[in-house]
């Protein structure tokens, strides 16, 4: 099932279940997607954003929640941190399964080979290839140093 259709079905189900926290998170997701759709239409793309862009939006929302939860925990606001973590769980339902450490290492090696990277100057191309294939499945902030290390060793 397409991601947008899954989101719509989840919103309807949350309304039926009267799950207010889940419903608010799902509406937040839809609002972020619609904002990006509007921006895409302004740029001349009448269809809005594609599936990959929706995954990138979800990934960004989850990352924002993780950062907020960490900040709240450091500030002693565990109630707010728990709310952020609960929102992450809802967002994560729509993201593909995260890759394991071994799978990430294999993906990095495959991307380096695919791009034909042989120096640190090719890091942007390698990261672009990874983002095209693995959006929502890996934390690119953590993958960057692995790519850099692999290219430095070349």
Instruction: Say what the pLDDT of residue 70 is.
Output: 95
State the Cα–Cα distance between residues 13 and 18, nearest whole angstrom.
8
pLDDT at 99 exceeding the cut of 60? yes
pLDDT at 10 exceeding the cut of 60? yes
Q: How far does CA 140 lie from the centroid of its chain? A: 10
Q: Does pTM top 0.85 for this prediction?
A: no
Contact call for residues 98 and 137 (beta carbons, < 8 A): yes
Instruction: Say what the pLDDT of residue 131 is.
Output: 85
pLDDT digits (tens, 9 = 90+) for 52-65: 888 889 989 998 99
pLDDT at 154 exceeding the cut of 70? no
Residue with the bigger pLDDT between 117 and 93: it is 93
Q: What domains, with CATH codes, occur in the chain?
A: 3-92 (1.10.1510.10), 101-153 (1.10.10.410)
């Amino acid at each position: 099932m397409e991601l947008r259709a899954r989101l719509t079905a989840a919103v309807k189900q949350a309304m039926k279940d009267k799950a207010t926290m889940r419903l608010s998170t799902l509406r937040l997701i839809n609002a972020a997607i619609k904002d990006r759709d509007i921006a895409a239409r302004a740029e001349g793309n009448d269809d809005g954003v594609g599936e990959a862009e929706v995954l990138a939006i979800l990934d960004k929302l989850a990352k924002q929640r993780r950062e907020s939860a960490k900040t709240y925990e450091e500030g002693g606001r565990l109630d707010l941190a728990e709310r952020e973590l609960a929102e992450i769980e809802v967002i994560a339902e729509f993201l593909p399964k995260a890759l394991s450490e071994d799978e990430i290492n294999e993906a990095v090696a495959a991307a380096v080979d695919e791009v034909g990277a042989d120096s640190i100057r090719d890091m942007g191309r390698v990261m672009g290839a990874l983002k095209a294939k693995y959006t929502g499945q890996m934390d690119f902030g953590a993958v960057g140093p692995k790519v850099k290390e692999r290219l430095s060793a070349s």
